[in-house]
Amino acid sequence: MEIHPISGALGAECTGVDLSVLSDALMFEIKTALMDHQVIFFPNQNLSTVEHRDLAMKFGTLDIPKFVPPFEMPKVKGHPEIYQLLKEKDDQSINIGGFWHADVTHRELPNKLSTAYIIDAPDYGGDTLYSSLYLAYETLSEGMKSMLLDLRAVHTSEMPYGGKSVRSPAISRSQVIAAEEFNFDMNNVEKDVIETSHPVVRRHPDTGRQLLYVNRGFTSRFEGMTRAESLPILDYLWRHTERPEFTCRYRWSERTLGIWDNRCVLHCALNDYYGQRRLVHRISVNEDERPSS
């Protein structure tokens, strides 16, 4: 497997590998590359739904996505662990993931990592941005690091999802069709606002490196403080994590698989491909234990 870094901060493209044939030696290489580069991409793959699932299972327990209104997550028939992000050419609906975030940090056990397999890619647009939370922490002043060290932050589903439990009229036609076609379970609904707290300075369980564990999508306030008291510092930290020199940008092509480490990476999906179809299959893996410092 050849590894080609795509920025000075994080990210690498991996070539010369067939992910449909997984040996123990290859999985060791993949996991090592992910720890080293935080987000990795494998172009020119030809994965079936089962092969995509089997690869994700090598990393841990698969997440079963819930319907979180107004963001409907249609699932692939027979595979409740796989949801599809589908936009048809004429869709002008909301852009799922169009803000800087790590996935589902409002849960006690957030996603450890996520995978995305691009089935239909637009000719241009639809890139994804990624940012390193290692670099975000390491470039803070010593005074700021000291202040944040013992703080915990409250992460809530009310931030990106609005705390609503009804279907939004903004839901796209193609997603409604896909939900019906691919057996979306309306009983698997995250109806209530969920909140949990995590350390602001987190230690990665595999690498041992410290990182800044806040994100604009889910982090609401510091534990023991009001939102008004927290916002000035949080706003600074959010903007700090999103600095261009901490990021990479990836242009997807069809049959590319991406894997990113949600514990130390933020991502943001761009919605700049109106008039083109895009279809992505997503599988996420849950953390083994709660984030700790």
Positions annotated as catalytic residues are 101, 103, 267, 282
Tell me the Ramachandran region of residue 49: left when phi exceeds 0, alpha when psi lies from -120 to 50, beta otherwise. Answer: alpha
**Residues in a beta bridge with 249:** 129
Residue (of 236, 251, 23, 230) closest to 125 by Cα position:
251
The SS3 call for residue 286 is strand
What whole-number distance in Å separates Cα of residue 56 and Cα of residue 282? 10
| Alpha carbon distance 54, 46 (integer Å) | 14
Collect all residues with Cβ–Cβ distance below 8 Å to 161 and sequence separation of at least 6.
Answer: 68, 69, 70, 71, 190
CA–CA distance, 97 with 62 (Å, rounded to integer): 20
Identify the H or E element spanning 257: strand 257-261
Q: Which residues is 279 bridged to in the sheet?
A: 86, 120
Half-sphere exposure (Cβ direction) of 280: Cα atoms closer than 13 Å: 24
